[in-house]
Structure 1
């Protein structure tokens, strides 16, 4: 399963020589290679700011499969008519001059490494295969691999191709009397131009007898396509996904939260990078946590921030750093999520330095947060050394292609730990690593951590939550973390929900979407429930509620499980990535629908969201939203909607670099955008300091913005909230178009004490707690400009509040009554 690609694409996408065959073809013999190639293309596009769709591993695999099939069909054709290629070439020379034909062949040989020493017959065969692929709309991305000036619309090339296909139409034997050879071979594309899976199914059902060994790979490829598409659909950062609650009738089991939890505003800091930046700001070495100046804590306090998420403060895996060094990345440190032990690293000053920071932060009203990574540990952690049975593993190598002749990564003389060797050449991405207990010569193949959406995290080891001792030790570890941190963020929390831990690692018979190589390790539902009788996260929540009730638990959870994590499992907070994705892409109707769905089902869920414009796994806020009115409009929403506002590292300063989890310092020398900082101080910080007024859901009301033609403008977000007698109205036009309309009615909302009953639809006066009888006038006082807008209550009752909104205009009003 190999394809012929241009020299230019090999260079452009940095495809290593180790990935190529000896004669220059690019083999796509396994799913991991397909993912690697896709990642290289995407990396190039991202690096060069090309706004191309993200290439998927399954598309690359399908490309390899179709090339293999067409090569097989062509070989079958040539076997029936051995002289076809010779006659084909002779035909070209009879129609064009010898110089034209020779130059044509020479140019292909010059542009394609795999054709450099090929015969004219083989060159012609590969050209024909490229042409077929380029006719396929579902493989439009392949032009980056094949396109040269020769395959563009240059006259000579067009004439020669026309001549070639005229010959094939007339002379090549067809496998179906209803079509000539060219029309026959294009049938899958013509019937299913947009679907690779349907093309492969058509070929499997209709061409089976004309294929050689290539047909054996069709079903595995279809399975891979199905798995990848299904996972893409489940990922919450897919902007087309909207949270719904259809069929949900489970009893609400919210965790009790203290007032500080409800009002929390948190900022994320990549700790090593932050300390290095502070060193430059204060012009002195700031290496340890206790070196962080009080001025910095005071600045956070003044901005309205009450929570500080310190990323990467635990002792990290030495093997993780070693792996990166062997990759050639000498500047990287270990990944923040390949954890050796849950101890504050001495590289940041250890426990003593942390306690100093914690005590000083407390005087500024700031609570500290950290990550807890329950899904996996570092590949060389003490648990891996001392308790390999706690991890998901096999006693036999799951794939014969996996080889472990690679450098030793173990810190212990009693244990050998080796990564699959093709990781180092970046020509493979095995799901397991080799663990040998040298005392008893017991070999295990332990799985890397994996969420099923991409390649395994190769510096980690996947824990087995079917084992009660694993669940117990992780709970005890979480309790120990809670002794030091008021806020715990659980990384990839959704992977430990029962249905996803089962799906990924212990799939039901016949289910396709497990981690690759786990399909042979199925388990019945009854057996799985026996080993994991209840949700692990519910156990954690109940344990923390009893033993560390002053701890906020925050789940990074996607796959449309947000409501389940907070309402039924009891997490205090859960990621709401739709806030970032949908508002960024101005899919405003979808985000308003998400809000309406949530209000209709249970408004309390809104207060448990974590809303963000970027996080450490995403592009920076300035990259996604810019620095203008659109950014500040959405940032205003983040500050005034129920749910925890999470501010990204460098967001306020306008930094554009995205910091990797293995960065020790920023790679770019960026200056703070002082103008951007000042605008935050003027427009955003005052709202964050009033967080107590915006955080609740009891009085949160969402309105339709009715246009003059009677329709609803879905681009406008209008909502009100109130606390302790203070009532606010927020209105934002997330669009580049000016709009006019009125706020008259609120959307339907369920009562906070009921899922279905006690629903109500209020008019604008009810939403703003105004009565037609109590006052004659009311005033909307703009918090930013101080401008007052005066309205007569009786007119508003009938006509609503009228606004003309410029592109990305946002207003935050305090509602005042006046006689």
Structure 2
């Protein structure tokens, strides 16, 4: 836990769209590379209490994927739906079809990236980059090297019962997962090949020298059982057998020998998060919490959180949007709903993943293949909300304290629909904070027991952090009946006391 504590705020920025946005704001002659990001923009990240920036899409891309993005009818049609009136110049290519792990010249190359990293570091902010281990671009440097052809999954020379749509003309397989079709701009790496494992371990170690953290794309696909599920018959037909050890266990051990403080965050689904934590990852996506929050079934939501240990939650990454998920404002039904859902998740132990545009309440999709989203005004009120929320959660109480879920009751006052309230408690020494959420569409009230109060004064002070108010209450009543709260739909409050 020493690398991430009880959690921190991680801000995902799409590198090339961000540069496009900054060029529109400051001028292309001012913003040439990522090194030219103005100090004011870095200071804004600090003001929002960002601990680490995930700069997405910094690696070199190829012409094949870009041309496919510009011509494939399905992709072009999708662009028109999210960005009406887009032009060909708006299409920039997928950041997950990597040609080579060198910094894309579109953002200025390695020197510019390291200058940007220094700007962040000078303000106490760390840098996270991407690793895409499952595949490389069709036109990657490894694909051009005959000696590295066996780094990739290959179609067997005999047998015809293999899906022809999963392979290129030269017999190399396209990247895929077990539940969807092949990704035609990618080539699938063969993790049953010891030489490929060695080469990807070297990539991992190399990248760890360029940043403070890595977000690992679809990390569970590299597990032996997942690789077998995708490619077992093909690999067996070519004489490859399942390795005894997991790639991640060996590779992470080798990386940590040189970079012990590197933070590894895995994109993972299908309930495989704990396996990756055991293999050495610091945090994993909690997609199950995202889905449960989106459903807004409060019993299921509280049941899910209550079933997880504090350690599990602290190793999790919580989010209501990112580059793969729809914008929270659009998906959750408005800004109030989305903000309550976000605060409820971020008040848990774990990494608080926030996405470029989320603070401003943006509802328009930013497709990873495009350099901009449809025009939409920024909501300054929403930005103030996130600035305040992040400041509250930046307190050491939420980064070092102990966490538990607590209940609310009606204290015999009749039906106040107290079941709508979800309540957490954080404790650090004498300091405590009750975070209470009405993640529903009707008003709700109830009492929350504060049985750990030791004060005997007639008037006891409680601070509500989000609104900045202070309340005077009788300590004996707080211990016997509890603190009374009344929340509007999708309302929340943070009560601090000692």
Q: Same fold (TM over 0.5)?
A: yes
* 1:687 partnered with 2:392: yes
1:78-477 to 2 correspondence within 5 Å? 256-258=1-3, 262-285=6-29, 286-327=31-72, 330-331=88-89, 332-386=91-145, 387-396=148-157, 430-435=165-170, 445-477=171-203
Please give the alpha-carbon distance, in whole angstroms, between the structure 2 residues aligned to 1:277 and 1:535.
41
CA distance in structure 1 between the partners assigned to 2:130 and 2:35 by the alignment: 20
The one-character-per-residue Cα deviations of 1:522-543 (angstroms, maximum 9, x if unpaired) are 899xx95xx4112222223322
Give the alignment partner of residue 699 of structure 1, picking from 402, 427, 432: 402
Does the Cα contact within 8 Å between 2:265 and 2:284 map onto a contact in 1?
yes
User: Would the alpha carbon gap of residues 506 and 712 (structure 1) be closer, same or farther in structure 2, given more than 3 Å must change?
Assistant: farther
Match of 1:669 in 2: 375
Match of 1:408 in 2: none
Is the partner of 2:467 in helix, strand or coil?
coil
CA distance in structure 2 between the partners assigned to 1:502 and 1:523 by the alignment? 13
CA distance in 1, matches of 2:440, 2:361: 22
Aligned to 2:246: 535
SS in 2 for 1:452: coil
Matched, 1:770 2:453: yes
Mapping 1:683-762, distance limit 5 Å? 683-690=388-395, 692-696=396-400, 699-707=402-410, 714-723=419-428, 725-744=430-449
Which structure has the larger Rg?
Answer: 1
Structure 1: distance between partners of 2:94 and 2:345: 29
Q: Matches of 2:338 and 2:114 in 1, distance apart? A: 36
In the other structure, the counterpart of 1:66 is: none
Instruction: Write out per-residue CA displacement over residues 570-626 of structure 1, whole angstroms, 9 at most, x where no aligned residue.
Output: 311111123333223312222211111113xxx211111111110101111221235
Task: Tell whether the 8 Å contact from 1:639 to 1:687 is kept in structure 2 after alignment.
Answer: no
Give the structure 2 partner of residue 589 of structure 1.
299
Q: Deviations over 1:476-497 (max 9, x none)?
A: 1011000011010000011112
Cα root mean square deviation, aligned: 2.8
8 Å CA contact 1:308–1:368 kept in 2: the answer is yes
Post-superposition CA distance 1:397-424 (Å, at most 9, x none): 876998xxxxxxxxxxxxxxxxx8xxxx
| Aligned partners of 1:640 and 1:687 also within 8 Å | no
Match of 2:465 among 779, 783, 794: 783
Residue 720 of structure 1: how far off its partner (Å): 1.0
Q: Secondary structure at the match of 2:402?
A: coil
Higher RCO, 1 vs 2 (CA within 8 Å, ≥6 residues apart)? 2
Aligned ranges 1:514-553 → 2 under 5 Å: 528=241, 531-553=242-264
User: Hey, what does 1:241 align to over in structure 2?
Assistant: none
Measure the CA separation in 1 of the matches of 2:209 and 2:157.
Answer: 41
Are 2:278 and 1:559 equivalent residues in the alignment?
no
Are residues 699 and 401 of structure 1, via their aligned partners in 2, closer, same or farther at CA, if it must alter by over 3 Å?
Answer: closer
> Do the aligned partners of 2:417 and 2:444 also contact (CA within 8 Å) in 1?
no
8 Å CA contact 1:303, 1:688 repeated in 2: no
Contact 2:447 2:485 in 1 (8 A): yes
- Report how many aligned residue pairs link the two structures: 479
The reply on whether 1:641 has 2:377 as its aligned counterpart is: no
Contact preservation (8 Å) 1:625, 1:631: yes
Q: Secondary structure in 2 aligned to 1:695?
A: helix
Note the residue ranges of structure 1 that are not aligned, 5 or more in a row. 1-255, 403-419, 421-429, 436-444, 508-517, 745-763
Q: Which has the higher helix share?
A: 1
Q: Is the 8 A contact 1:706 1:712 kept in 2?
A: no
**Residues 783/433 of structure 1: CA separation in 2 closer, same or farther (3 Å cut):** same
Which residue does the alignment assign to 2:79? none
Question: Is 1:266–1:644's contact at 8 Å kept on the other side of the alignment?
Answer: yes
1:233-291, Cα deviation, whole Å (9 max, x unpaired): xxxxxxxxxxxxxxxxxxxxxxx5336x6543111111111111111222444231111
| Cα distance in 1, alignment partners of residues 219 and 419 from structure 2 | 32
Which has more strand, going by share of residues? 2
Secondary structure in 1 matching 2:113:
helix
TM-score (norm 1): 0.55
CA contact (8 A) 1:320 1:334 kept: yes
Find the counterpart in structure 2 of residue 104 from structure 1: none
Q: Distance in 1 between matches of 2:404 and 2:161?
A: 60
TM-superposed deviation, 1:710: 9.4
Deviation at 1:713, TM superposition (A): 5.0
SS at match of 1:732: strand
Contact 1:267 1:305 in 2 (8 A): yes
Distance 1:799 1:788, change over 3 A: same
Extract structure 1 runs of 4+ deviating beyond 6 A.
709-712, 774-777
Q: Structure 1's 711 and 594: CA in aligned 2 closer, same or farther, altered over 3 A?
A: farther
Name the stretch that deviates more: 568-577 or 665-674.
665-674
* CA–CA distance in structure 1, aligned partners of residues 459 and 405 of structure 2: 23
Which ranges of structure 2 fall in alignment gaps of 5 or more residues?
Answer: 77-87
